[in-house]
Amino acid sequence: MREGLKSAPAWGAAWRDAAPGPAYDVVIVGGGGHGLACAYYLAKNHGIRNVAVIEKGWIGGGNSGRNTTVVRSNYYYPASARLYDFSVDLYEKLHSELNYNIMFSQRGMITLAHSRHDMEAAVKWVGAMNANGVATRMLTRADIARAVPFLDMSADARYPVLGGFAQEKAGTARHDAVVWGYARAADRLGVDIIQNCAVTGFMRSADGAIAGVETTRGTIACGRVGLAVAGSSTTLADLAGFRLPVSSYALQAFVSEPIKPVIDTVVLSLATGMYVSQSDKGGLVVGGGLDHYLSYAQRGNLPVAGNVLGALAEQFPALARVRLLRQWAGIVDVVADSSPILGRTPVPGLFINCGWGTGGFKAIPAGGTLLAHHIATGDPHPLAAPFSLDRFSTGALIDEAGASGIAH
Amino acid sequence: MLRLSCPFCGPRDEREFHCGGQSHIQRPGPAEAVSDASWGSYLFDRINPRGHHAERWHHSFGCGRWFNVLRDTTTHHILAVYAMTEPVPDMVQSDSVA
């Protein structure tokens, strides 16, 4: 308390703002949640502490600071269910793992069905999720009216609600805290976190393997490199000389002025793709679909903003006059089957974690664990094996596009 | 809001259009000679550039016809609009169009 009133002179920085060293065992490119988590698990689980995380801007300034903080595992296929449920399980323990309050709030997520077809799909999804060990349950109209009192459930609603389903252990977490928690924990295990350091090229040995990275702050030698750069994955793959099945799109989000508590869960509408939760500060956090053309501009377009906010105003009429505080966009890495790409690349020693598309935040602890495992052991973690890059030539896609009702 | 010039209808808001993704993708063949890797690459790999991108657009809520657009993915500047059968215009020296 005393330190808080004095701008905290004695608390010091939570991690060192390191300068690049000449050489590391492993360099992780990307100081977002996934990259920092990977560095932390390399040090913690595998004892590899001579690690640098290099970030072109500041840590957590990309999609880790641009998401809508939702954590869930309501996916359709067994491989996805295992992966995302593993991540939610890690989130449940993350505050004690990192000794950092990540404000993980398992307030549940309710998906709304608006037609007979939505209801049929919901029954199918709930059946699959429960069969995969992800507990979800069907909700009646009355259940939803009770749980989400501000939702327009009237007989003449533009989007009538017939029912829905819920995953109770889904929720939200404080996104900055996840980044800062991993950064502090990784730093204490000896990881160098190097900001304002953009990769400009990769050094290769005579046999083609990774020998280091060239950056705006000089060259750094290393034996292995992990990429965790979301929407910039193609740009770095171009530098390394291979192609990815990734398209980069802008995904918008919105937050309102703080209001009194009105929504104590996460609500997603299958009809409009709009979803909303309320932060602990009282702001409504709203998201929806992608801007459907390639973009590296971290801002969204007006038509999609209109669709998302129009849906909010239509489905929650009492919230129609609430004013927005902020609107922003992150550049997300979308893959044809809406599943991540995890593991080795055509370049020996270069490993990748990308393709999380619109849903990377929820997967941070899992993405970090699995990338660290692959870098440290040379073999994919069993959870990561189905998500290898070669699935696009073998045809073993894990097509989650629309399979779990999220507008990817 | 983008303002796209449909070659058939003139300038309209982006709401009237649908982007069909990367243009000029060549299907490999003959089919029996195509490896799994090159077929997968044809189906899924995209150039996804930070900068100029040649892409197909469809005037869905207008004339219903397709055309090509050369657009900058960092600024959203429209550098050229051209027919489906034309090659990508050489815009190396004319970045300032838009």
* Cβ-based contacts of A245 with chain B (< 8 Å): 40, 44-46
**Domains: count for chain B:** 1
Q: A340-396, pLDDT tens digit by residue?
A: 999 999 999 999 999 999 999 999 999 999 999 999 999 999 999 999 999 999 999
Within a domain: B63: yes
DSSP for A195-257, please give it. -S--EEEEEE-TTS-EEEEEETTEEEEEEEEEE--GGGHHHHHHHHT---SEEEEEEEEEEEP
Q: Is the pLDDT of residue A193 over 60?
A: yes
Q: B62-97, pLDDT tens digit by residue?
A: 999 999 999 999 999 999 999 999 999 987 544 444
Which CATH architecture best describes the domain A20-70+76-86+88-98+175-246+337-394?
A: 3-Layer(bba) Sandwich (3.50)
H or E, element range at A23? strand A23-29
Within a domain: B29: yes
Residue A288, phi then psi, degrees to nearest 5: -165, -140
Residue A281, phi then psi, degrees to nearest 5: -80, -10
Contact A193, A186 (CB under 8 A): yes
Within a domain: B38: yes
ipTM over 0.90: yes
What residues make up the domain containing B75?
3-82
Within a domain: B90: no
Q: Do B45 and A295 touch (CB under 8 A)?
A: no
Q: Is the pLDDT of residue A4 over 90?
A: no
Q: A303-355, pLDDT tens digit by residue?
A: 999 999 999 999 999 999 999 999 999 999 999 999 999 999 999 999 999 99
Asked if CATH classification 3.30.9.10 holds for the domain at A105-170+248-334, the reply, yes or no, is yes
Which of B46, B58, B68 to mutate: most A Cβ within 10 Å? B46
Neighbours of A161 (CB within 10 A): 22
In single-letter form, the type of residue at position A218 comes to: G
Determine the Cα–Cα distance for residues A229 and A63; give it in Å rounded to an integer. Answer: 9
- Give this prediction's pTM: 0.95
Per-residue confidence (pLDDT) for residue B94, from 0 to 100: 47
Within a domain: B92: no
Within a domain: B72: yes
| CATH code assigned at B15 | 3.30.2270.10
Question: What CA dihedral angle connects A328, A330, A336 and A340, to 10 degrees?
Answer: -130
- B13: closest chain A residue by CA: A303
CB-side exposure of A399: number of CA atoms within 13 Å?
Answer: 6
- A239: closest chain B residue by CA: B49
**Across chain B, which distance is largest between two alpha carbons, in Å?**
45
Neighbours of A316 (CB within 10 A): 21
For residue A297, give the nearest of B18, B45, B76 by CB distance.
Answer: B76
Q: How close, in Å, is residue B47 to chain A by CA atoms?
A: 7
Q: Is the pLDDT of residue A111 over 80?
A: yes
Q: Is the pLDDT of residue A25 over 70?
A: yes
Q: How close, in Å, is residue A185 to chain B by CA atoms?
A: 34
Q: pLDDT tier at A408 (50, 70, 90 boundaries)? A: very low
Which of A296, A335, A341, A391 to mutate: most B Cβ within 10 Å? A296
Q: Are strands B3-6 and B10-13 parallel, antiparallel or unpaired?
A: antiparallel
Q: A32-86, pLDDT tens digit by residue?
A: 999 999 999 999 999 999 999 999 999 999 999 999 999 999 999 999 999 999 9
